[in-house]
Amino acid sequence: AQTVTQSQPEMSVQEAETVTLSCTYDTSESDYYLFWYKQPPSRQMILVIRQEAYKQQNATENRFSVNFQKAAKSFSLKISDSQLGDAAMYFCAYTGNQFYFGTGTSLTVIP
C-alpha cells in the first residue's frame, strides 16, 4: 500500500528566510505524481507544486521548489524568501490510481 509520511508536524521560519519541509513516500509503482498542497486558514486547498515521477528535473514554481529523490522516495519542498502569506498547513500528496496525503506540516512565518 502507498503511504506518505511527513515527519515534521510544525515548522517555523523567519520572514525572508528559507525553509524546507520533508516528505517521504512508499510505493511499488513506477509511474506516479507527487504534489505539495497548501491549506491556509480559509481551508481552501491550493496546489503549490507538482512533480512527475518520470522527470528527473526538480519542479520549480517561483519561490517554491522541490528536491525529488526517486530512489530514496523523498520529496521535500523548499520555500525561499518566506512571506507572511506562506503561513499555512502544507500537505504532501502522492497519486498513482488514488490520492494519498501525509498528515501535514503547520508552517508559521515569524515577522
Partner 1 sequence: DVKVTQSSRYLVKRTGEKVFLECVQDMDHENMFWYRQDPGLGLRLIYFSYDVKMKEKGDIPEGYSVSREKKERFSLILESASTNQTSMYLCASSLPRQGGRTEAFFGQGTRLTVV
Beta-bridge partner residues of 52 = 33
Please report how close the Cβ of residue 92 comes to partner 1 at its closest, in angstroms.
9
Please report how close the Cβ of residue 98 comes to partner 1 at its closest, in angstroms.
7
DSSP secondary structure letters along 6-42: ---SEEEEETTS-EEE--EEE-S-SS-EEEEEEE-TT
Is the CB of 68 or the CB of 91 nearer to partner 1? 91
Is the CB of 65 or the CB of 95 nearer to partner 1? 95
**Residue 15, amino acid:** E
Is the CB of 40 or the CB of 69 nearer to partner 1? 40
Q: Residues 26, 103, 108, 110: which binds partner 1 (CB under 8 A)?
A: 103
Chain residues 83-102 in contact with partner 1, contact rule CB under 8 A = 91, 93, 95-102
What the block records as the C-alpha cell of 17 is: 528566510
Are 82 and 18 contacting, i.e. CB atoms less than 8 angstroms apart? yes
Chain residues 19-78 in contact with partner 1, contact rule CB under 8 A = 33, 35, 37, 42-45, 47, 50
> Any residues with CB less than 8 A from the CB of 38 and at least 6 apart, and which?
45, 46, 48, 86, 88, 89, 90, 91
Residues that bind partner 1 (CB under 8 A): 6, 9, 33, 35, 37, 42-45, 47, 50, 91, 93, 95-104
